[in-house]
Chain A
Amino acid sequence: MTKPLEVEGLGYDLPGRGKGERRKSRSLVRDVSFTVGAGETLVLLGRSGSGKTTTLKLINRLLEPTSGEVRVAGERAADLPVTRLRRRIGYVIQEVGLFPHFTVERNVGLVPRLEAWPPARIAARVRELLALVGLDPDTFAGRYPHELSGGQRQRVGVARALAADPPLLLLDEPFGALDPITRVELQREFAALEGRLGKGMVFVTHDVREGLLLGSRIGLMLQGRLAFLGTPDEFRRSDHPEVKAFMAAA
């Protein structure tokens, strides 16, 4: 069985701006390797600027890797047309990015429509997904994003990412902008959802408690490298100074 995601020696260098001798490239991600199995959530934890989000964007090629290889469900990401690759990867971001001029129904049905599913199948899938993320389809399908609360918007964001049943989901601090109560509510529901979905997930956060709650494994990023990779239990017991710094903050 091929894994939803395999990452090998991934690197990303930003070309330098200076001239001649001073022109040095800056590397934002260096030699990152991990795999994510079906039903598994890898949490990428790290400070701001440690390369977590960059790593995520290298996987769906919003940024093109300068070294290493990414395989999604066994296929080399670099060999696929970029739009086809992205339609196989659910993508959830902190700002959600719902289309404000689309109803909830059209937002969730976006990728199925790009993939030219028959309309009846899209409609059925949208209702199924809204129910899955805890939104009553009859109430919410016809609403516009500005008529939703922040938590409801992110639920729609998750439903949209799952729409075309991708094997892999990338989540970039999906609950980071929510108020604390809504955040905890969504974290709990998400924890329950993870097992049922059976997808590979990469979840970026800087919140240790969130990472320990939701991750099957934790990858700690430090200055563009994966400084630690292990289960939440191993993470708690680790002697790595950066891990300890994070545990002290929890």
Chain B
Amino acid sequence: MTALVIAEHDNLSLKPSTLNTVTAAMQLSSDVHILVVGSNAQAVAQAAAKISGVGKVIHADAPQYADQLVENIAAQILVLAPQYSHILAPSTAGGKNVLPRVAALLDVSQISDITRVISQDTFERPIYAGNAIATVQSTDAIKVITVRTTGFDAASAQDGNAAIEVIAAVSDQGKSVFKGRELTKSDRPELTAAKIIVSGGRGLGSAEKYHEVMEPLADKMGAALGASRAAVDAGYVPNDYQVGQTGKIVAPTLYVAIGISGAIQHLAGMKDSKVIVAINKDPEAPIFSVADYGLAADLFEAVPELIKELG
């Protein structure tokens, strides 16, 4: 019974979502290995080896792994898969893309987005955008699992000293070619890893107002910037700002919702935050039903005042 965690990384650094996934894996097996598939990703393998409790890091390195093309990554995972009882990846764009392929080729089902481990084969996962929680039991020999990172604490990334085993890479599957990437540049913390998130909605009225009002607040609080789907659809900010069932699922220590009404799909993405603050001029807005602290006020007055009060 050994569990394999697929590391999430950009060839330079290990993404924090891997640490939450390791915690889930540890609840399934005392023997956890990490697989790093990348190109010139030695730093990632070394970081993975330092995760507390990890037994071994397996590193496959080749140019065809540089851009995480899914056919190649899946082929590499499949080489190792039969040796494991559980294969886990974070429920990120990368994990969601690759793991169902692995499951299908092993002829097993995938258990998506688990939020809790009940036993070796039984898990909790949200369905209907988090409006219901299902307890599901897998009957397959190998459990292929994506992990909702907000459901598990991060494993310590410092105390470990696992050996790194380098394995041969699988040849390029030749199905796809990487063309380019447009990543949103930001000096702020990453949404899914931030301790504080300030999120703006349709109430801001325009892209200009979003930047004018939200950015100084985020700077003052050292927060990541988020947005509701309505704000993203209205073009205030790029899609990767979106918090919600179809965007990012977040659970920071403090979530500040500004001018967000609180549609079900938005609530599904942030309701596990430790403390929720809502500022909205409509006292009947559904966001107040999940907020620990609600302030019914005009955000254009309240936010600048909040920045001032925070000193």
A binds B: no
A interface residue numbers (CB < 8 A to B): none
